[in-house]
Structure 1
Amino acid sequence: MSRSTLTTFIALLLFSWSATCAPPASIQLLPSLVETTTLGPYGKGRGQTGSTSATSFVELQLNLCNSGFAGCYASGASIPEGGELIYATGPNVVTVNEICSSDTADLQSYLGEAWPNDYTYSVFMPAVDKRTAEAYRCKDTRFLYGSLVLGRVEKTKWKGVDPYGGKYTSQDTSNEQRIFACAAATGDHFACTTHLSSSSEPLALAQCKALMFDAIPYLKSTSGSSAKTVVGGDFNLEYDPDDAENAQKCVPSGWTRKGDGDVQHVVFTNDLKFASSKKYGLSYTDHDGWLVKLTTT
């Protein structure tokens, strides 16, 4: 093989590698907007509430309506209410929508209190403001508005967390551009959350598919994660087999979905098995708390 032929061959290999490793066209990763905090061991509080069973894995989904704009806003009262539910149920992962960046530390402290001997992390991703291409802000403009993944990892298994966040290429006409946040807790689990378009069910379904079929496989490959995976969020889609925008249509093969009967869903890989679920009525938001208990296989 001549030198020129070899050079061309290497260039083609590099192009193929870069194309393979490029993010899917349906998403845009925005690492500069992601905020991450690790905490642990917390070592204080009222005592552990999380299950000590080696096979237990619990996911809690919350929409806390704390932007300051929506009619369900309750002057911040949804944060301690949601936090108390986190502490009472002791989940392994919490996915939270419609909060401000200032709420992250408060909510993480409740999870740390539920697991005082272990590590917790937070991954906050703000929505994107179409007008500025920067982070969307809560009504109190000091703080960013978005979604959050909280997670717990046993102290002896803690190896760190890789955070990811981005927005969907397809968006509605709102100034709030919809996003997703994911966390790869090394060797333990992979978790994501999202809050999809509220103005168009076809668009919400397209965004859901972009997350489930494109973003998550890409990010798991990028992070090298083969761990059990759970996604929780406000999909703004219902489960209805007769609806063209049925939430089940964005569930890949090898995954299971459990919905709250409305628009919140928890979707998980089949190395996790469904055990039970429960709705918790909340006074300071217009969404129930949605708890899904799983077991590892």
Structure 2
Amino acid sequence: MSRGRAGRKLTLAVGLALLASLVAPGSSAVAAANGAEYVRAKAVVLPATTGPATPSIAADRFWELQLNLCNSGIAGCYSQGRSIPEAAGLISQVRPNLVTLNEICANDVPDRLAPALAQAWPGDRIYHVFNPAVRRDTGTPVKCNNGQDYGNAVLGRVSAASYQGVNAWRGKYTSQDSGNEQRTFACAYAVGDHLACATHLSASSEPEALAQCRSLLFDVVPSIRSAEGLVGKTIVGGDFNLEYDTADPENAQKCVPSGHIRKGDGDVQHVVFSNDNAFVSTTRYGMTHTDHDGFLVRLTKP
């Protein structure tokens, strides 16, 4: 793995143009933070559904499931799309409040994963926000081998009683490694309930991965919270391509701001959350059709 920092940054004008090309019509409020550019976007919110009664849970229970599903069709861990129904089954089983997703194709969420979460929470509101990775050479979305855009997504649930709408943000790091796949993030603010972001950081340079992680956690997230008038209730999950290792200059703990807590899967997946969410426990779920475990972090929130 390369340890050298690529250090190649897009100019602000080029970066904003690329972002504008990737957001839906009507997106606005282009912003820049240290090491990233991002814009307001539109979340997809499913109509409330009906279904069989599900077991009741404590109102303050908040569970986050992190999944890297290796569904591009290009990487060696690809399993002919079978990671998606496997993940849908895990979502139905676990009933998380939030799912952060990496290495998926654009239709994986609306076709399989969002319906699984909706079936787990009949009557509540389910939202999702997808953001593709970007090709360095063309400035266009990276594609799965099926032709769909490839990237990250936030998939979440808000109780019917608490639902006040969902605001979305999508962005790209200006600091990238020298590869053609440029890394991005997706964020969603469920108004009055929580802010959640998903990201997949550089795989070829740990210094770049740490720089991207710090940009998101130290700059982008506080800026979005300020724009939304939110204090606390924040969760960021993803494949950081960083390990927790106090002897490593690129220790994952170095991208955890004050007032936040990090929990990892023992490898490169992490969930960072504001400490107004109380930590309960974690569970790793072995996955047959991807090379990463499903990583569940159980929280309670005020």
CA distance in 2, matches of 1:36, 1:123: 5
Q: 1:109, CA displacement in angstroms?
A: 0.5
Alpha-carbon offset, residue 36 of structure 1:
2.8
Distance (whole Å) between structure 2 residues aligned to residue 212 and residue 273 of structure 1 = 19
Give the match for residue 33 of structure 2: 24
* Contact kept in structure 2, 1:40 and 1:112, CA below 8 Å: no
Q: Does 1:48 align with 2:57?
A: no
Structure 1 segment 84-123 matched on structure 2, within 5 A: 84-105=89-110, 106-123=112-129
- Cα distance, 1:42 vs. partner? 2.0
Count of aligned pairs between the two proteins: 272
Cα distance change of structure 1 residues 47 and 175 upon mapping to structure 2, 3 Å threshold:
farther
Pair 1:153 & 2:158 matched? yes
For 1:239, the equivalent position in structure 2 comes to 244
TM superposition score normalised by structure 1: 0.88
Contact 1:83 1:107 in 2 (8 A): yes
AA paired with 2:117?
L
3-state DSSP class of the match of 2:87?
Answer: helix
Partner of 1:62: helix, strand, or coil?
Answer: strand
Q: Distance in 2 between matches of 1:40 and 1:57?
A: 21
Q: Write the distance in 1 (CA, Å) between the matches of 2:282 and 2:33.
A: 33
SS state of the match for residue 53, structure 1? coil
Shift of 1:47: 4.9
Q: Name 1:12's counterpart in structure 2.
A: none
Query: What is the CA–CA distance in structure 2 between the aligned matches of 1:227 and 1:124, rounded to whole Å?
Result: 23
Q: Give yes or no for the alignment of 1:189 onto 2:198.
A: no
Report deviation, 1:100.
0.2
Task: Decide whether the 8 Å contact of 2:34 with 2:215 is kept in 1.
Answer: no
TM superposition shift of 1:227: 4.7
How does 1:238-257 map onto structure 2 within 5 Å? 238-257=243-262
Contact 2:31 2:37 (C-alpha < 8 Å) held by counterparts? no
Correspondence list, 1:136-285, <5 A: 136-141=142-147, 143-285=148-290
Q: Which structure 1 segments of 5+ residues have no match?
A: 1-20
Q: Which amino acid aligns with 1:118?
A: D
Change (3 A) 1:204 1:53: same
Choose which of 60, 65, 77 in structure 2 pairs with 1:60: 65
- Name whichever structure is richer in helix by fraction: 1
Distance 2:169 2:243 in 1: 26
Aligned equivalent of 2:131, options 116, 121, 125: 125
Q: Tell me, yes or no, if structure 1 residue 80 matches structure 2 residue 85.
A: yes
Q: Aligned partners of 2:258, 2:59: CA distance in 1, in Å?
A: 26
- Residue type of the alignment partner of 1:27: A
- Equivalent residue, structure 2, for 1:7: none
How far does residue 30 in structure 1 lie from its aligned partner after superposition? 4.7
Whether the 8 Å CA contact 2:282–2:296 is kept in 1: the answer is yes
CA contact under 8 A between 2:232 and 2:274: conserved in structure 1? no
Q: Runs in 1 of length 4+ with deviation above 4 angstroms?
A: none
Q: Is the 8 A contact 1:23 1:218 kept in 2?
A: no
Letter of the aligned partner of 1:254 in structure 2? G
Q: Does the Cα contact within 8 Å between 1:238 and 1:246 map onto a contact in 2? A: yes
Q: Percent identity, please.
A: 54
Give ranges in structure 2 of 5+ residues lacking alignment.
Answer: 1-29
Matched, 1:292 2:297: yes
Give the Cα separation in 2 of the matches to 1:206 and 1:47. Answer: 45
Q: Describe how 1:27-38 pairs up with structure 2 within 5 A.
A: 27-31=36-40, 36-38=43-45
Q: Which amino acid aligns with 2:61?
A: S
Shift of 1:114: 0.8
